Amino acid sequence: MDESEFLAGYDPRAYPAVAVTVDVVALTIRGGGLRVLLIRRAEQPYAGLWALPGGFIRPEEDLPQAAARELAEETGLSGPAGPSGRIHIEQLASYGAPERDPRMRIVSVSYLAFAPDLPDPRAGSDAADASWHSVDKLPELAFDHDRILAHGLERARGKLEYTPLATAFAGETFTISELRGVYETVWGVPLHAGNFHRKILSVPGFVESTGESTESGGARGGPRAKLYRAGDARLLHPALLRPAREEQIR
Amino acid sequence: MDESEFLAGYDPRAYPAVAVTVDVVALTIRGGGLRVLLIRRAEQPYAGLWALPGGFIRPEEDLPQAAARELAEETGLSGPAGPSGRIHIEQLASYGAPERDPRMRIVSVSYLAFAPDLPDPRAGSDAADASWHSVDKLPELAFDHDRILAHGLERARGKLEYTPLATAFAGETFTISELRGVYETVWGVPLHAGNFHRKILSVPGFVESTGESTESGGARGGPRAKLYRAGDARLLHPALLRPAREEQIR
DNA sequence: ACTGTTATTCTCATACTGAGATTGTCTCAA
DNA sequence: TTGAGACAATCTCAGTATGAGAATAACAGT
């Protein structure tokens, strides 16, 4: 059945109510680990459990706007147009199983956000608590948010392979080692420092030199490192692939 | 605002009505070209224009079910669980700009479907007409369906690179040349036959030999070709990359 | 039988990757 | 002040993958 025909013949209000929400998988790197923003639910159902930040779309806003607003409400930061200007937001997927919310039919459009070390969240008026959780030791999540989060993590890991988005987790300028740390943290595997260095500098447009170096060597020694900023490439070519895992292929 | 709080305090019916539809970008290869299933709209708005098949989700069905149903209604074929068993369906993205439908707020969850040479569509009771259109010469489309279709095409082209989905466009068994034809058709570029052959056979799990060959040579000559079927790989490693286009990278 | 087509296999030069080693700078603690 | 360890940056080398072209042979049609 086509939209227009439906609408021509029925009063929308007479149809079973469907609500649309956005849920945001917001990732950042803090304390050496990959973390996701979670809020503790104050109300039933799943009161007391942790959940992804999200909420209903408003009548006048587009989906990406709703996602940026929900994220801003929890972190105080805005998206690409905002003051920080360095948050990447992209649509992830939609979930609409009839029983995913026990009260009514809710279709959730999920978004994935990356950003460099974000500040502590401020609990919104509607959330009992909000904080960054290591993705390695997650609490039980409300609704199907565990599935959404797993999808977001897999997307983030994949995106590092063929886009320069790892730079979105780093500061304005960064060293090759810091960038390698981003990859190692998100992928959870150690990388060969020499090969990584060679690769980053050989991919056109990934990074560009600032001409500067760090003020001092590393905390435990080592020479000063050259500083880079994100380049103008939108896709990495050739891609920077994760070590292949056989179980992932079959 | 969180879902539960909203629901605890408000009657959903009092909120602005939102409707959720699924729209399907169904691709097949016919007549040597890549084609998409379109239906001609019978009703306002955009009456007479072509649009992607789609419609409202039903209260008891999940999103993928709704997509499979919409596709089946137009083609008479079902998805992976159906009799044909060879149709691939995956979620594409969601679109929810407030003004994308002039009558009310509609959020559309789009799906992408691939299948081998599908039969002519049967016009549903709700559509004036339905047919396969070459993606190279498309008519004007209703709503934002041009954008959705463009997204679907780009997704399909990308998926051929790192998944064995090209086999979903071919029959149960196929020759390496037929598979190459799928890539050339979807990507719109000629590929080196020898290198393609080497590549396909060297990627583990992409295809497996049936031990058979074609009954006769090609229509215009040439030896009989060996027949293969889809292998058990879910990801191609290493990937089969399109010739890089500089404009795509920056 | 002859010509043109196409499947399949090779060759070879170039590019990319993983693993390991080298060089030199820097921090820290004895 | 000096020695030990950490680390940035570069290099080597073998193995693997890719692009381009060519060779071989089986087949259809004339």
Model confidence pLDDT, tens digit, residues A62-116: 999 999 999 988 777 655 544 445 789 999 999 999 999 999 999 999 999 998 8
* A191 CB-to-strand D distance under 7 Å: no
Nearest of A47, A227, A7 to residue A140 by alpha carbon: A47
pLDDT at B145: 98
User: What residues 105-124 of chain B have any CB closer than 8 A to a CB of chain A?
Assistant: 105-107, 109, 124
| B41 contacts A41 by C-beta, under 8 angstroms | no
User: What residues 9-68 of chain B have any CB closer than 8 A to a CB of chain A?
Assistant: 12-13, 15-21, 39, 41-47, 51, 53-57, 59-63
pLDDT at A129: 87
Rounded CA-CA distance B202/B237 in Å is: 9
CA of B192 to C1' of D22 (A): 13
With contacts defined as CB-CB under 8 Å, which chain B residues touch A247? none
pLDDT at B180: 98
Inter-chain touch B2–A55, beta carbons under 8 Å: yes
DSSP summary character for residue B143: T
pLDDT tier at B29, thresholds 50, 70, 90: very high
pLDDT at A83: 45
| Residue A127 structure tokens | 């959330």
**H/E/C letters for each residue in chain A?**
CCHHHHHHHCCHHHCCCEEEEEEEEEEEEECCEEEEEEEECCCCCCCCCEECCEEECCCCCCHHHHHHHHHHHHHCCCCCCCCCCCCEEEEEEEECCCCCCCCCEEEEEEEEEEECCCCCCCCCCCCCEEEEEECCCCCCECCCHHHHHHHHHHHHHHHHHHCHHHHHHCCCEECHHHHHHHHHHHHCCCCCHHHHHHHHHHCCCCEEEEEEECCCCECCECCCCEEEEECCCCCCCCCCCCCCCHHHHC
Q: Which residues contact A213 (CB under 8 A, 6 or more apart)?
A: A224, A225, A226, A227
pLDDT in tens, B212-237: 999 998 899 999 999 999 999 999 99
For B14, phi and psi rounded to 5 degrees?
-80, -15
Q: Which residues contact B122 (CB under 8 A, 6 or more apart)?
A: B74, B75, B76, B130
pLDDT tier at B123, thresholds 50, 70, 90: low
Residue of B nearest to A110 (CA): B94
| B25 contacts B148 by C-beta, under 8 angstroms | yes
Specify the 3-state DSSP secondary structure of B197. helix
- Position B126 pLDDT exceeds 60: no
Of A98, A109, A249, the CB nearest to B59: A98
Of the listed ranges A19-23, B9-13, B162-166, the least confidently predicted one is B9-13
- Position B43 pLDDT exceeds 80: yes
pLDDT at A100: 96
Could you give the percent of chain B with pLDDT greater than 70? 85
Pairing outcome for strands B88-95 and B207-213:
unpaired
CA of A177 to C1' of C21 (A): 19
| A131 contacts B94 by C-beta, under 8 angstroms | no
Q: Which residues contact A172 (CB under 8 A, 6 or more apart)?
A: A86, A229
- Chosen for mutation from B94, B144, B242, B247 (greatest number of chain A CBs closer than 10 Å) is B94
Of A42, A96, A249, the CB nearest to B20: A96
Inter-chain touch A234–B244, beta carbons under 8 Å: no
Of the listed ranges A87-96, A219-228, B50-59, B70-79, the least confidently predicted one is B70-79
pLDDT tier at B129, thresholds 50, 70, 90: confident
Low-confidence stretches of chain A (pLDDT beneath 50): 1-10, 12-14, 81-84
How many other CB atoms are there within 10 angstroms of residue A198's CB atom?
A: 12
Inter-chain touch A127–B2, beta carbons under 8 Å: yes
* A221 CB-to-strand D distance under 7 Å: yes
| B145 contacts B37 by C-beta, under 8 angstroms | no
pLDDT at B74: 79
pLDDT average, residue stretch B87-100:
96
